[in-house]
Structure 1
Amino acid sequence: MRHSTDTSSKENKINDRSPFGAILILTLGTFALVLVLGLSISIGAASITFTTVWEAVFSFNPNVTDHQIIQEVRLPRALASVFIGAFLAVSGAIMQGMTRNPLASPSILGVTDGAAFAIAIAFAFFSGISSLGLMSWSFAGAGLGAMLVFGIGVFSKGGITPVKLALAGVAVGAMLSSFSSAIAIHFRVAQDMSFWFAGGLAGIEWVSVRLLGLVAVIGISLALLISRSITILSLGEEVSKGLGQKTVLVKTIGIIVVLLLTGAAVSVAGSIGFIGLVIPHITRFLAGADYRWIIPCSAVLGALLLVLADLGARMVNAPYETPVGAVTALIGVPFFLYLARQEGRGL
């Protein structure tokens, strides 16, 4: 009886926390995202004024060269970076909430490398594959990577711990990445795969943006639908069952959402790491532990981070582009090492 009372008090404490921080993130973050989007669209090989950007978006004139550049090149890239950043951040938040593992993220637990492995197979055996087909292969590969990592964790001595999952993720990721490289070299698709290995947003077309938009509607909606259940699940498996949660159903939906969002992101932009690791931690620090707020806030901050990273990738060595995955790694690697050190004390 006392255990049930303690459980309810924990849940009430989370739910009763003021959402001021979350509302502030959503308000200021969205405002900042709009400003950074405008900056991202205006900066490039040819600098374009904000006025021209506004006209190209809302009063498009196909006879103006700058309007064509914005509509066909820069706007799809900018919108794709918003979707992909949001997808990776939400995926990381869901994984961390479901597993109670602060080291969980798509790039660390083999999901991203699994998706890239499947894309390598698709390029090798199905040349000329459509964007939808590539996304489908990416979903399957993401599922394979996750299954391998969690399978190793389950059968390891002493069961699953955060650091063991992270180590399994690194090992499986390295293995799948090696297989991907071998397939790319043997079947002479290395040039096609180099983009996905490095991670980048160059050359994204409207067809990919539309597919990302469809995935966003389905994936983010499902994530918000189970957000309260993830909050309870983050308190512990026993607590969740004690409150009558259908933990198997929640985890199944959560895994589907992660595979859907990560698979779509990797199929379009390749391996972009650490957004799913860093952003959920920042969001929890600012907005609290309620996933009804963590998920939308993570989406906004993840989108903002990737747009900024893409902007930095274009400016750091202009006119050449630095892989955006390298920029996010500069932020994510030190953060991962800090978390791994903290969790390593629990081994």
Structure 2
Amino acid sequence: DVFAYIAVNKRMGTIHCHIYHVPKGSGNRAYAAINNAFKMLAADEKARGSNPFAVTDPKREAAPDLLFRHQIHRADLTAIQQIGAGQFGAVYIATHRILQRAVKLLRNAASTADKDEFTREAETMLVLDHPNLVKMIGVAVQQKPWLCVLEYMKYGDLKSFLSTCREKKIPLRYGEMIYFGEQLASGCGYLASQRMIHMDLAARNALVTDNNIVKVADFGLTRPMEPGVDYLLLREPMKLALKWMAPEGMDKKYFSEKSDVWSFGVMLWEIASYGANPYSQIKTQEIQLKVREGLRLSKPPGCSDEFYDVMNTCWEQDPDNRPNFRLLEMRLSGIREANPTPSRDVGLVVSS
């Protein structure tokens, strides 16, 4: 079967048609699931009227202590426009006390599992503070719809940003690519210093804003390391992206800073390939065996040897032989300083 959908990116001024070959009989199921999700979003919007942040159920719910201490008044939020829809519901640009913010809504019909994940991600973000991690501003979770208020990243996710560069034939300068990687390594290094494992590093989960600033986002799968050790043995079922996963994660459910480093290497490859899909010619179910046998992503066209070498150090089979994020940040910083690049705001060029 073939399944397709059209995505409109208002921020970048692009329209993409995504076409997938799916197992026979699953195309209609995918359509039904997505159609049902849009119907639920439409029902939520109708219940809220012209104000998407308005309370739809006056009943108050108890909030975990950390979230309660970071409550904001939804009356201080003014929606500007919807910019997307995530796992939990719609995402808006809004003003909050003059500043622009991104606001994620949890749909009214959310499952208990979705509520738990929404809460866990908010609690994780509230304890993190680094210039290259997307900042949580506050929440409103005592009445429906639940809201999560984040700093607004003007140019959206890094994967779409890179794809737009390719489509509009706007090549990134070498120093700009390296600077993206350096910032992401810095944010990931801080995360590791807090004994956290992101577990879903990919270009789609990083966001871009003014002055070529990029930040790690989407902490829904982030988990703390186990007490007394520097790893996590995953015991809960979790949907993870195999093409970004380290072999020890696929084989043994073993995750650490070094498994995040592997994923970071794939993210660098995405930067150098302008948002291409890794292992695009290989079926997902074959990835685990191929990687175990030594398959690695090939050097993207135009990529320098030294940048590709950084990627390859992230893909060492033995986690102990991979660099940590601090070393990666230092190495990328050294490459950038040795290759000075004229200053420009790439997002401004791409979105014009």
- Shorter-normalised TM range: under 0.3
The structure with more helix, counted as a fraction of residues: 1
* More relative contact order, 1 or 2 (CA 8 Å, 6+ apart): 1
The structure with more strand, counted as a fraction of residues: 2
